[in-house]
A and B are shown apart, each in its own frame.
Chain A
Amino acid sequence: MFNNFYKKNNNNDFFLIKPKTIYTFLANPFEQLSLISRLNGQLGYFPHLLAEDTTFIDYLSIRENMLVILSLAPNQTKRKLNLVVSEVLEELKIPDYLANQPFSALPVTLSIQLQLKLTVLCNRKVILVDHWLSHESASNKQDWLFLFREFARTTSCSFIILTSDVRLLPIENLLRMDSVAYSTKKIS
């Protein structure tokens, strides 16, 4: 019992991630896995990894991928998954012929938006943004950050952006692996 208590306490103290906040995490790609595992220990589920391609199973169609993701969600919705999927597809204006193709057919913008929608439906509160953002152009980066900010404000999710660029955010919330150095500034 003591052991259990200790573990729980330890995990809770590891990161203080507030909702509606965007953090940056200065990391090389190797540290990404250990960050994911620590977040899993803290949250009880894996954070959503927002990436261009790796999140999805390449041999399944978009619709099937969505079904798989929703059926594996930590807190399942009680509604029929098929209905939920059709609803999301309609909302993002993805036509049926596109929905039956593999994920690589989807433009990046739509893919990211779809992932954000799915994250909300899966009740995941922490979104990890992969390194793809660093390779975008400056204006695109601004657009994405704006989108994330909007999204964080409306859904109470928090973002952790994996990057090697220190000046990515105007007001940085720097998350470090050691628990002392987190910053708690909100940007919303």
Chain B
Amino acid sequence: MPIAKRAYRHLQSHPYFSILMIGFYLVYFIFAFIFALLIKQFSDSYVQLTKIIASLDSQQVSFNSRQFKILESITTHYIVNYRYIFFSIILVGTLIVLMIQLWLSQARKKEYQSYLLLGERVYKLTAQLIMEQLLLINCVLLLIFACYSLFKIPIMNQITQIEATSLQSKLEDYSSIQSSQEGTISSDFESKNFTRFNVNPFLKGEFINNKFSQTNTLIGCLILIMLNLYSAMIIGIPNYIVLSLRKSKLS
């Protein structure tokens, strides 16, 4: 009897457990995905801004490039923040997965023991456990991917909206600070009503012609493989250790 079928049968006969795990993975991946999108959006803008600054600098129009430099520094600030949040989400998720696996190894103690007494190898049992979780994880990833490709435009609009408002609010802070220092420039600054939306045409045009979107499927596959490998490692290593401890107790 193949290992994959055993894994499938376990999920099938424990529906509540499967639904709970799917729910957990869904929440976890959606949060991680949103922050990954935000990071990508901000870093795209950052790339655009540096290009604009470089071209303005080469034309030696220093007065204009100054505002873009402010925008750039704000963007960097957000990128760092979002990265921090993204990695802490990943860390917390990993820890929770580990805890769940340890709890499971206690809850399924009897089953493991009977497998080991029948003479099952530890690595095969570990492979079964990994497969159970990977089945759920890939279902969730497929769901998220399908949703994303269906609602790509509203989602990206929403993300752009978030970016615009956050930049706007920061920009207002900056201009208020600047107005106390240099009166003349800031009035100029506000009269132009310089916001994120003025910069948007630059970014949008580039976004559509972006070569990045063409290689998106390849990157998606890579991310999928990476996620699978990562979760296989997270699930496999503790289970392998626990199972070999159990086995060494038996023999």
Contact = CB atoms under 8 A, between A and B. Distances in A.
A72 B118 contact: yes
A28 interface: no
Contacts of A40: 250-251
21 contacts: A33-B249, A36-B250, A40-B250, A46-B116, A46-B119, A49-B114, A49-B117, A54-B114, A55-B114, A55-B118, A56-B114, A57-B6, A58-B111, A59-B12, A59-B13, A64-B1, A67-B1, A69-B118, A71-B1, A72-B119, A72-B120
B179 interface: no
Interface in B107-130: 110-111, 113-120
A68 interface: yes
Closest 4 CB pairs of A and B: A59-B13, A72-B119, A72-B118, A67-B1
A59 B18 CA distance: 14
Interface in B81-115: 110-111, 113-115
B192 interface: no
A144 interface: no
Interface string A62-81: 00100111011110000000
Given A59-B10, A69-B118, A54 B113 contact: yes
A58 B10 CA distance: 9
Contact of A36 (B1, B13, B115, B117): B117
Contact of B9 (A33, A45, A59, A69): A59
B132 to A, nearest CB: 11
B211 interface: no
A86 to B, nearest CB: 15
Nearest to A67: B1
A74 B14 CA distance: 30
Interface of A: 33, 36-37, 40-41, 45-46, 49, 54-60, 64, 67-69, 71-74, 102
Contact of A68 (B1, B249, B250): B1
Contacts of A67: 1
Given A36-B250, A40-B251, A56-B114, 10 more contacts: A37-B249, A37-B250, A46-B118, A49-B114, A57-B6, A59-B9, A59-B10, A60-B6, A68-B118, A72-B120
Nearest to B116: A46
Interface in B1-58: 1, 6, 9-10, 12-14
Contacts of A46: 116-119, 250-251
Contacts of A73: 119
B119 A45 contact: yes
Most chain A CB within 10 A, of B6, B114, B115, B120, is at B114
A54 B113 CA distance: 9
Nearest to A74: B119
A57 B112 CA distance: 9
B111 A57 contact: yes
Nearest to A40: B251
Contacts of B119: 45-46, 72-74
B220 to A, nearest CB: 34
Most chain A CB within 10 A, of B111, B117, B120, B249, is at B117
Interface in B217-251: 249-251
